[in-house]
Structures are given as C-alpha cells and as structure tokens.
Amino acid sequence: MTARPASAPSCSLLIPTYNWAAALAVVLGTVRQQTVLPTEVFVADDGSPPDTAALVAVQAASFPVPLYHVWQPDSGFRKGRILNEAMARARGDYLIQLDGDMLAHHDFVRSHLQFATRGVYLQGSRVMLGAEATARCLDAGRPVVGPFSRDVRNRINAINAPLLTRFVRGARGAMHRTRGCNFSFWRDDIVRVNGYNEAIEGWGREDSELVARLQNAGVRRRNLKFAGVAYHLDHRVLPADAVPGQQEMLDRTVRDRIVLCDAWLDGHVAGHARG
C-alpha cells in the first residue's frame, strides 16, 4: 500500500450488492489490497438475507478503513435507492462505485483518484469473466486472471497502463457504454442532480439516466481506459422486462435536458446531516 497523495480528495467507495455474499467477500478482499485505500467503504445492500450483514460485520472488525453496511428490504431491484442512502451517509468528497460482482485491480482506487478532475465524471470499463475464470477467482479468493488468461472477454480492458489513459477519448454520451459498476464522480456534482432517480425500479437504465442528468448539468464524461481495471464475475443475467419503461424515462431526461430528480435530498440527506 502506498500513501494517499496529498492532493487526493477524501474518497468513499460504494459497493452495491444483492444476495451473493461469497462474491462480496472476494470483492472486499480486493479492496483490502488496494495500493491507495479509500477513506471509507459502504456496502449498499438491496435486500440480501442476513448472511451479507454478518459478512460485513466480520470484515469490519479488521478492515483497514471504516466499513459500513447499509440495507433496505427486498422489494425488487432498487439499486438507485440504496445507493442514494449510502451516498447520503458518505463523508468523502469523491465517490467511487464498484459493483458487488466486480473484483478490483490493486490500482483501482488509485486510478480513479489520479484522474479525478472537477467538472468531470469517470466511466470505467470491465473485464468479462466466463464461468471457469469466475470459479478460479472465487476459489483463490482474489483475481487470478489477466489479459491473456483463458475464459476472459474484453481482454483489452484488463490492461493496466494509466500512461495511455490520457490518449483515449472513446464514447461521450450517456447512452454509450455507461456502466454503473465502475464509475466515479464528485459528491458536489451528485448533490447537484439529486442523486439516482428512485422512480426507476427494476433492472436497466438507472445509471444512464443519472449520467444524462450529470451531463445536462455540465459535468463532462472521461473514459478510464487502461486504468480502473475491474473483473466482472459471471452470473445469471437479470430479465430485462423493466427496460422499455426505463428507456422512456431516460429518453425524456435527454430530450428535456432534465437536471434534477425528486428523489434524494428530501428522502435521505435530511436524515444524515454531515458533520
């Protein structure tokens, strides 16, 4: 572990999860191994059974930074709401999201902080692991894959070469490869747009709708290619039944250049006044 750069902002790492404690344990293990640690970590739990809370409690006893468990009852896919609750409690000036099925490269946090720039949010990518590669990582309790490993897709995303990041432009819009599993933003910017839109319930478009409002507010996108490396564990994909309705909300946000949603400040921040 290296010392946090003096210029680096305080940082809260947010890990949304649902009912996969075995994967979350390995994810938290990759956070322990970061070359630069976040200031604090929040597990944002969308209704998992008690084994997830028990896991976090055990991990928190020896975790190198404060580790918190934020839970809501299981009432369908409500990732945006539980992330709003976690962000309301977070104290970091900079917020990083890493899904609970994503194993972080040891420079993951360092990369996000290295490229954190005012007026910009960072969109990372993911390395897609197949079932065999996923089993190897879960059995080892850590990432045991690289750009040339077998059963790996999106291999280029496994290359950690931050010196190349500044030369890669990539997609700019909210509808191009937006992935909430690996991205980061300044807390001030997320407050400015009122967080996730909690009217979006069910899988799909919650991340794209958020970043559309960030862009409408003047926050620019920067792609974190060759940095912020993270490995996506293989699992059953959720049904896309809710996507048409979510797409309509996203289209309206883009068309009408909506910035605020009636979701977060009244419902969460008032109950967690910052010290």
In this prediction, residue 170 carries a pLDDT of 64
Q: pLDDT by residue (tens digit) across 179-188? A: 788 999 999 9
What residues have CB less than 8 Å from 109, skipping those under 6 apart?
11, 13, 31, 34, 35, 36, 37, 38, 96
Please check whether residue 151 is in contact with residue 251, taking contact to mean a CB–CB distance below 8 angstroms: no
CATH of the domain at 41: 3.90.550.10
In this prediction, residue 149 carries a pLDDT of 94
> How many angstroms separate the CA atoms of 141 and 1, rounded?
19
What pTM was computed for the model? 0.92
Residue 236, domain member (yes or no):
yes
pLDDT, one tens digit for every residue, the chain (275 residues)? 666 666 789 999 999 999 999 999 999 999 999 999 999 999 999 999 999 999 999 999 999 999 999 999 999 889 999 999 999 999 999 999 999 999 999 999 999 999 999 999 999 999 999 999 999 999 999 999 999 999 999 999 999 999 899 888 766 665 667 878 899 999 999 999 999 999 888 877 899 999 999 999 999 999 999 999 999 999 877 665 567 778 888 889 999 999 998 766 556 755 555 44
Q: List b or e across 99-130, with b for residues whose CB sees 16 or more CB atoms inside 10 angstroms.
A: bbbbbbbbbbbbbbbbbbeeebbbbbbbbbbe
- CA-based torsion, 197, 69, 36, 275: positive or negative: positive
> How many angstroms separate the CA atoms of 145 and 127, rounded?
10
Residue 227, domain member (yes or no):
yes
In this prediction, residue 275 carries a pLDDT of 44
In this prediction, residue 192 carries a pLDDT of 93
> How many angstroms separate the CA atoms of 261 and 213, rounded?
9
Residue 229, domain member (yes or no):
yes
Please count the structural domains in the chain. Answer: 1
Residue-wise DSSP of 169-205: ----STTSS--TTEEEEEHHHHHHTTSS-TT--SSSS
Q: pLDDT by residue (tens digit) across 82-109? A: 999 999 999 999 999 999 999 999 999 9
In 3D, which of 223, 224, 214, 221 has the Cα closest to residue 188?
A: 214
Residue 178, domain member (yes or no):
yes
In this prediction, residue 195 carries a pLDDT of 95
Element (H, E) at 120: strand 120-123
What residues have CB less than 8 Å from 120, skipping those under 6 apart?
219, 220, 221, 222
Q: pLDDT by residue (tens digit) across 44-64? A: 999 999 999 999 999 999 999
Residue 104, both tokens:
């972080």
3-state class (DSSP) for residue 259: coil
Residue-wise DSSP of 46-104: SS--HHHHHHHHHHHTT-SS-EEEEE---SS--HHHHHHHHHHH---SEEEEE-TTEEE
Residue 241's domain spans which residues?
11-269
Residue 275, domain member (yes or no):
no
